Amino acid sequence: NIVIFSRCPSPWDSLFSEYFSEVQTQKLSEKDPSAIAKADFLIADPLLLTLALVQKIRLSKNLKPQLRVFALGSIPKEYEDVFDAVLSEACGLFDFTKKVSEKLPLPDSVRLLVADDDPDILSMVSDYFEGRQSPSFEVLRAANGREALEWVQKKRPDAMILDMKMPIMKGSELYLKLQKQEEKIPTIIFFDAISAEDLDIVKKAGAPVIVEKGYRESSMPYLMALVKKLVYFAA
């Protein structure tokens, strides 16, 4: 249960729309704070929190250790124990995603499928994830969509990073095939130099995260943050 407790409208609204584009959220105003106690993931404006609401959040955190609470802006010193992280209003989607992902509770091990026909990119991405801890990653490597499909059939991954263009079977073809089979595996589509029409086809079939190669969003730390986000919200 993802709950956002902030002013309506809020300067954060466009950022929330981008970050939570693949998941459903419950937006609360200061007039309707009742669902706070039921949250599993809470983003709150500290200026709207009364002492009674803070006590409810403290109780919820004791009862649900997996609950994560994020503050929108600075917090009073007496509330510091309630929040896992403070989010700056000046941060964009890139920094917001990284900061939130650092605090997400995840399983000890994550199975990740990486498919790319460029051996250098395949090795770079796979080696990066295989070297991580908390969580650790079991990486399944594929050089084309058909190999990736075979992995899905043998060892269903928790998330996938798929190159859009590959020989034998493209990443977009694999994604569409899995969507038709109701295999809803959280996916990052990794691409460069493709048409807007091709991207639209993939977007209409599901809700993959689209990342263009060569930009800041394709950096390894950001891909890590995206994978953590996808695994957490798919659970």
- Domain parsing of the chain, residue ranges: 2-101, 109-234
At the topology level, CATH places domain 109-234 in Rossmann fold (3.40.50)
What is the tens place of the pLDDT at every residue in 134-172?
899 999 999 999 999 999 999 999 999 999 889 999 888
Q: What are phi and psi of 197, to 5 degrees?
A: -65, -45
Confidence of residue 113 (pLDDT cuts 50, 70, 90): very high
Residue located via tokens 């993939």: 202
Q: What is the average pLDDT across 16-32?
A: 75
Largest CA distance in the chain: 60
- Those residues whose C-beta lies under 8 Å from the C-beta of residue 183, and which sit 6 or more positions away, are 152, 156
What is the tens place of the pLDDT at every residue in 35-71?
777 788 999 888 888 888 888 889 989 999 899 999 9
Is pLDDT of 126 > 60? yes
Is pLDDT of 34 > 80? no
2 has which bridge partners? 41
Amino acid at 66: Q
Is pLDDT of 31 > 60? no
> What percent of the chain is modeled with pLDDT above 90?
43
Q: What is the average pLDDT across 78-103?
A: 88
pLDDT value for 207? 79
3-state secondary structure of 23: coil
Q: What is the average pLDDT across 6-11?
A: 80
3-state secondary structure of 59: helix
CATH top-level class for 2-101?
alpha beta
pLDDT value for 130? 96
pLDDT value for 97? 92
Confidence of residue 32 (pLDDT cuts 50, 70, 90): low
Is pLDDT of 11 > 70? yes
CA distance 3 to 25: 6
pLDDT value for 139? 98
Q: Measuring CA to CA, how many Å separate 183 from each of 100, 102, 152? A: 27, 27, 9
Among the ranges given (91-105, 173-187, 194-208), the one the predictor scored with the smallest mean pLDDT: 194-208
